[in-house]
């Protein structure tokens, strides 16, 4: 799939090792991969948009075919703008499936030419989520091994009280 441009969209409010695992898998399969951070999502984010972009740039440095970008509005419109043919999403467990299926089907309804491709992160990351990492960090628990080292440093530097 070396001629395929894929978009890996998400909120990435704490980049985890699971995200990194998926970026690596995506970078190996697709010719180009755009990891794109949703600009305005409802929740109050822990990391600003700029911080999330910086973190993603740092951790994706080993893969020259990976670009970091931001997007707002509908994902299908953004994909059209970037001329991407594939949306990459990660599925960790069956519990992710329903939400992901709904999004994939709605995106297909909005643009039948855009394919959603699901990849599974390594089994060791199957229980990992940004929400849990944020909670563990806020409550002073150990986050080593859950997030890339650069993210761990930034989490430590944050006032999470």
Q: Segment near ligand PNS (CB under 6 A), from 9-17, 56-64, 115-123, 139-147?
A: 9-17
Q: Which helix (H) or strand (E) holds 55?
A: helix 49-59
Place of tokens 């594939």: 86
Strand partners, 34: 7, 67
* Catalytic residue of the set 36, 52, 130, 154: 130
Catalytic residue chosen out of the listed positions 19, 25, 32, 154: 19
- The interface with ligand PNS within residues 127-156 (CB under 6 A) comprises none
> Which residue number, 76 or 140, has a Cβ lying nearer to ligand PNS?
76
158 among known catalytic residues? no
How does DSSP assign 107-158, residue by residue? HHHH-TTPEEEEEPPPGGGTT--HHHHHHHHHTT---BTTB-HHHHHHHHHS
Q: Catalytic pick from 25, 32, 89, 92?
A: 92
User: From residue 87 to residue 106, what is the string marking binding to ligand PNS with x (rule CB under 6 A)?
Assistant: ----------------x--x
Is 45 a binding residue for ligand PNS by CB under 6 A? The answer is: no
| Distance in Å, CB of 104 to ligand PNS, minimum | 8
Give, in order, the Cα–Cα distances in Å from 71 to each of 3, 10, 39, 49, 108: 23, 10, 6, 10, 19
130 is catalytic: yes
What is the nearest approach in angstroms of ligand PNS to the Cβ of residue 7? 9
Q: Distances from the Cα of 31 to the Cαs of 26, 27, 53, 157, in angstroms?
A: 9, 7, 21, 36
Count Cα neighbours of 142 within 13 Å in the Cβ-side half-sphere. Answer: 2
Active site residue 2: no
Active-site residues, by number, are: 19, 43, 92, 130
By CB under 6 A, name the binding residues for ligand PNS. Answer: 9-11, 38, 74-75, 103, 106-107
């Amino acid at each position: 799939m070396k001629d395929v441009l894929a978009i890996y969209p998400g909120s990435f409010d704490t980049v985890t090792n699971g995200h990194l695992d998926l970026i690596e898998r995506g970078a190996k399969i697709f010719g180009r991969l755009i990891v794109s951070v949703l600009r305005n999502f409802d929740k109050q984010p822990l990391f600003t948009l700029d911080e999330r972009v910086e973190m993603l740039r740092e951790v994706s440095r080993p893969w020259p075919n990976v670009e970091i970008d931001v997007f707002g509005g509908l994902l299908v419109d953004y994909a059209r703008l970037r001329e991407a043919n594939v949306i990459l999403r990660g599925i960790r467990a069956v519990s992710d499936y329903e939400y992901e299926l709904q999004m994939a089907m709605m995106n297909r309804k909005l643009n039948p030419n855009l394919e959603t491709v699901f990849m599974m992160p390594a089994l060791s990351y199957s229980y990992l989520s940004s929400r849990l990492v944020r909670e563990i960090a806020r409550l002073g628990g150990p986050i080593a091994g859950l997030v890339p080292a650069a993210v761990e440093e930034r989490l430590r530097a944050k006032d999470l009280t």
